Amino acid sequence: MLRIGLTGGMGAGKSTVARILAEHGAVIVDSDLIAREVVAPGTEGLAALVEAFGADILAADGSLDRPVLAAKAFADDEARAKLNSITHPLVGKRTAELIGAAPADGIIVQDIPLLVENGLAPFMNLVLIVDVPAETRIRRLVEFRGVPENDARARIAAQATDEQRRAVADVLLDNSGPEGAVEPVVHELWERRLVPFERNLRTGTAAEAGAELVTTDPGWAAQAQRLIARLRVACGGAASSIEHIGPTAVPELPARDLLDIRVSIADAAALDGLCDALTASGFPPLAGGANDAEPGERLHGSADPGRPAIVRVQVAEQGGS
């Protein structure tokens, strides 16, 4: 299954994009909803919070009084760590259950407000960022949600910056236009990238790049870094280094729109297991001998039709002069 990370700043319209994707057939896993579900009345999560923070965190109807809990849990680092130690494992367990229940050919969209802040981007096959300028988001929060302007500005300032989100964005969805303007963009994304990506991932098929040379793309370096971050997760401790190489690593030269990544590993015995891990992570093997493989080199591609790549897995030379 394909795992998509979806995030954006407060007021960006992330829920709108999630709704459109759900209408196309995506399985939505909403972190905010899960966080509320695991501490609903009658759950082990709420019982654990009461034991840790006291019965006064309960409202009259037995539900969690969130402002009271926040006042206690965010009073100091120790209290916040206690809260996280209770809720995070429960959220993780429920998230895993929902993902595990999805069909094998499913496209999972994980709606995670703090995806960037928690460093989760490399664990997704693709990251979608709903992008709206901060001033527009503040206006929306004030006008449509009734949030006081000072509060809106403080909340936005406490989140990741627009630049930090854009750095992890494989797809930047501009939702600053009129209502409904983003819908055809999401539809095209679904048909032309997400559905083929899922199919390629499931069948172990690498996406092909065009043969023609293109002018230098200033985004190549950032795109390569996002792939490298995913490859580090897939390789675990097996990789001694992962580098962006080849023509796209030379900014002033035209090249095929094909990222070239070299993964060096120290142990030749790890090659077979690494091949399976890369395939499961969206980097399926290429046919033997394709693309001028060097002796002892394993070639993988990218299943993402929006970002073709060659991943060259090589055993690093030991010793030296």
Q: Is the pLDDT of residue 212 over 70?
A: yes
Closest residue by Cα to residue 17 from 105, 108, 99, 109: 109
Q: How confident is the model at residue 251 (pLDDT cuts 50, 70, 90)?
A: confident
231 with 293, same domain: the answer is yes
Distances (CA, A) of 295 to 79, 262, 303, 312: 56, 14, 24, 11
Q: What is the mean pLDDT of residues 258-263?
A: 96
Do 198 and 117 share a structural domain?
Answer: yes
11 and 44 within one domain: no
Interatomic CA distance for residues 102 and 107, integer angstroms: 8
- Please report whether residue 212 resides in a domain: no
Q: CATH number, domain at 167?
A: 3.40.50.300
- The whole domain housing 225 covers 220-315
Vertex 270 angle, CA 265 and 272, to 5°? 120
Q: Does some domain include residue 209?
A: no
Residue 267 has a pLDDT of: 81
Report pLDDT digits (tens) over 184-195. 999 999 999 999
Residue 214 placed within a domain: no
**Residue 121 and residue 80 share a domain:** no
**pLDDT at position 321 over 50:** no
Within a domain: residue 39? yes
Report the SS3 class of residue 54.
coil
**Do 2 and 113 lie in a common domain?**
yes
Q: Which residues contact 6 (CB under 8 A, 6 or more apart)?
A: 14, 17, 18, 21, 109, 110, 111, 112, 115, 127, 128, 130
Which of 59, 85, 100 is the last residue in one of the domains? Answer: 100
Reported confidence tier of residue 147, pLDDT bands at 50, 70, 90: confident
Query: What ranges in 101-194 are assigned the alpha helix state H?
Result: 134-145, 149-158, 162-168, 183-189
Q: Say whether 131 sits in a helix, a strand or coil.
A: strand
Contacts of 19 (CB under 8 A, 6+ apart): none
- Final residue in a domain of this structure, among 170, 203, 236: 203
CATH (domain of 239): 3.30.460.10
CA distance 231 to 194: 20
Listing DSSP states for 93-125 in one string gives HHHHHHHHTS-TT-EEEEE-TTTTTTT-GGGSS
Smallest CA-to-CA distance from 8 within 149, 100, 109 is with 109
Is residue 118 a part of any domain in this protein? yes
Per the structure block, which two tokens stand in for 204?
A: 């172990």
Asked if residue 151 is part of any domain, the answer here is yes
Q: What does the mean pLDDT of the chain come to?
A: 91
Among 157, 135, 158, 139, CA closest to 147: 139
Same domain, 35 and 73: yes
Q: How confident is the model at residue 26 (pLDDT cuts 50, 70, 90)?
A: very high
Within this chain, do residues 143 and 19 fall inside the same structural domain, yes or no?
A: yes
pLDDT of residue 96: 95
- Cα(97)–Cα(145) distance, integer angstroms: 32
Contacts of 295 (CB under 8 A, 6+ apart): none
User: How many separate domains does the chain show?
Assistant: 3
Asked whether residue 211 is domain-assigned, the answer is no
Quick one: which of 54, 187, 213, 36 has its CA closest to 113? 36
Q: How far apart are CA 186 and CA 203, in angstroms?
A: 24
Could you say which of 159, 176, 203 is where a domain stops? 203
- The answer on 127 and 244 residing in a single domain is no
Instruction: Say which range, 135-144, 161-170, 229-238, has the weakest mean pLDDT.
Output: 135-144
Helix (H) or strand (E) holding 174, with range, is strand 171-174
Residue 216, classed as helix, strand or coil, is coil
Look up the pTM and report it.
Answer: 0.89
* pLDDT for 318 beyond 80: no
Task: Based on the fold, state whether residues 11 and 160 are members of the same structural domain.
Answer: yes
- Asked if residue 19 belongs to a domain, the reply is yes
Confidence band for 293, pLDDT divided at 50, 70 and 90: low
Least confident of 7-11, 123-127, 210-214, 292-296: 292-296
Same-domain status, 112 and 192: yes
Looking at the structure, tell me whether residues 248 and 133 fall in a common domain. Answer: no
DSSP state of 192: I
Pair (292, 242) in one structural domain: yes
* CA within 13 Å, CB half, 85: 10
